[in-house]
Amino acid sequence: MVTPARVFAPGWVLVESDRIFDVGHGVPPRPADVDLPSATIVPGYVDAHVHGGGGASYDTGDPEDAATVARAHLAHGTTTIMASLVTDGPKSLERSVRELAELVDEGLLAGLHLEGPWLSPRHVGAHDPLLLSEPRPEDVEALIEAAGGHLRMVTLAPELPGGLDAVRRLTAAGVVAAIGHTDATYDDARAALDAGASVGTHLFNAMRGLHHREPGPVAALLEHPDAYVELIADGVHLHPAVLRLAATRKPHLAVLVTDAMAAAAAGDGDYALGPMAVHVRDGVARLADSGAIAGSTLTMAAAVKFAVRTAGLPIEEVVRAATASPAAMLGLDRVGALRPGFSADLVVLDEDLEVTRVLHRGHWVSRG
């Protein structure tokens, strides 16, 4: 059992209704209802950056679609899920935010993450370049207001005009400001971190690269003592050596994210990512027109397995990066660890690190 602060081998967990009552090492204090002799038990995964799955996307703002996404990822161990929205027109973004905010109230979603529209046209990735804009104070205010307290994170390019003011306004409103899709220099990124930014969105991807004479945002984020860095562990976005480099530099601040789009837990085919058409072939999502990588088809279970088995990272650190660290990054209470008083969310893994069972708020999930 990886809590993840400690490893109990063997270990036990006592669940009462939707909460963890106690955890411990060795023989359980009373006979177990469920005995899992060769399993590894980890906290339910926390996915901080995800756009879709199971064939559906959050971008529609449709509650049925959002439920499909959450259910698809739940079957792969994600018990706490954010809703990330790609760049869209101001009105449709505001509408989606309003509709999805209700699902945060209902407990389906942990919060909302806006990825855009305040992104650099030089690192646009899979976002529609025609819909990018500068963060004008009234637009920032309108989206904070539309989310009704449920906007948890905004990814923006801090070097844009008004970027640092937006970072200050967002953090003052309790929203995590994340540096991403950015052409920021090292100094720009330092200024954003000084202004309150605390996350690097999918580090290395869609940002100015790491160069020994122009270290850029990557070095500013990696050397910062408190900044979290998101990493996409699918073997497509990052070479395993780069994943290792970043994860070992920040053992308590590395966060695995899926950045999954609709094809995750669904299969190859033609999909949409916001207003953009995406082709998925052999599990790799690319924009239909430019061929740019357009999110991943990861589940958190696959990311954890890749980070341990292919990148060779220690399981305790990988589990922390998929559970306690994203919870801390987002300021989410009582999820992301096997601790008394925390939500009874756990994942049972077999020897191949495949998910065999998921407990969500005290109930075993049917994974049919």
Q: Which of residues 259-298 bind Zn ion (CB under 5 A)?
A: 259
Q: Say how far apart CA 237 and CA 186 lie, in whole Å.
A: 22
CB under 5 A: which stretch of 96-104, 118-126, 284-292, 322-330 binds Zn ion? 118-126
Q: Any catalytic annotation for residue 350?
A: no
Q: Shortest Cβ distance from residue 234 to Zn ion (Å)?
A: 13
Q: Please give the torsion angle defined by the CA atoms of residues 143, 148, 154 and 159, in that order, rounded to the nearest 10 degrees.
A: 40
- Return the structure tokens found at 262: 């609709």
Q: Shortest Cβ distance from residue 223 to Zn ion (Å)?
A: 22
Window 335-364: contact mask with Zn ion (x via CB under 5 A): ------------------------------
Q: Which is nearer to Zn ion, 278 or 348 (CB)?
A: 278
Q: Which is nearer to Zn ion, 273 or 337 (CB)?
A: 273
CB under 5 A: which stretch of 122-130, 140-148, 189-197, 345-353 binds Zn ion? 122-130
Among 115, 234, 317, 345, binds Zn ion (CB under 5 A): 115
CB under 5 A: which stretch of 28-36, 108-116, 167-175, 247-255 binds Zn ion? 108-116
Q: For residue 175, which phi and psi values (nearest 5 degrees)?
A: -100, 135
Is 274 in contact with 88 (CB distance < 8 Å)? yes
Residue nearest to Zn ion (CB): 259
Q: Shortest Cβ distance from residue 132 to Zn ion (Å)?
A: 13
Q: Which of residues 243-262 bind Zn ion (CB under 5 A)?
A: 259
- Return the structure tokens found at 224: 């910062």
Helix axes 90-105, 63-74, angle to 10 degrees: 60
Is 51 in contact with 57 (CB distance < 8 Å)? yes
Task: Please spell the DSSP secondary structure of 35-104, one letter per residue.
Answer: --TT-EEEEPEEESS--EETTEEGGG--HHHHHHHHHHHHTTTEEEEEEEE----HHHHHHHHHHHHHHH
Q: Which is nearer to Zn ion, 115 or 234 (CB)?
A: 115
Q: Which is nearer to Zn ion, 59 or 259 (CB)?
A: 259
Q: Are strands 11-16 and 269-273 parallel, antiparallel or unpaired?
A: unpaired
Residue 230 is a binding residue for Zn ion (CB under 5 A): no
Window 63-102: contact mask with Zn ion (x via CB under 5 A): ----------------------------------------
Q: Say how far apart CA 93 and CA 56 lie, in whole Å.
A: 17
Q: Shortest Cβ distance from residue 207 to Zn ion (Å)?
A: 10
Q: Are strands 78-85 and 111-115 parallel, antiparallel or unpaired?
A: parallel
Q: Say how far apart CA 183 and CA 345 lie, in whole Å.
A: 38
CB under 5 A: which stretch of 8-16, 20-28, 123-131, 165-173 binds Zn ion? 123-131
Q: Say how far apart CA 214 and CA 125 lie, in whole Å.
A: 21
Q: Which is nearer to Zn ion, 330 or 348 (CB)?
A: 330
Q: Shortest Cβ distance from residue 87 to Zn ion (Å)?
A: 10
Is 46 in contact with 335 (CB distance < 8 Å)? yes
Q: What is the total count of residues that contact Zn ion (CB under 5 A)?
A: 3
CB under 5 A: which stretch of 61-69, 113-121, 236-244, 354-362 binds Zn ion? 113-121
Q: Say how far apart CA 78 and CA 92 lie, in whole Å.
A: 27
Residue type present at position 184: A
Side-chain-side CA neighbours of 74 within 13 Å: the count stands at 20
Q: Which is nearer to Zn ion, 188 or 259 (CB)?
A: 259
Q: Which of 139, 234, 259, 345 is catalytic?
A: 259
Q: Which is nearer to Zn ion, 87 or 343 (CB)?
A: 87
Q: Which is nearer to Zn ion, 13 or 48 (CB)?
A: 48
Q: Shortest Cβ distance from residue 144 to Zn ion (Å)?
A: 20
Q: Beta strands of 237-302 (E only): which ranges?
A: 254-256, 269-273, 276-281, 284-287
Point out which residues bind Zn ion (CB under 5 A): 115, 125, 259
Residues assigned a catalytic role: 259
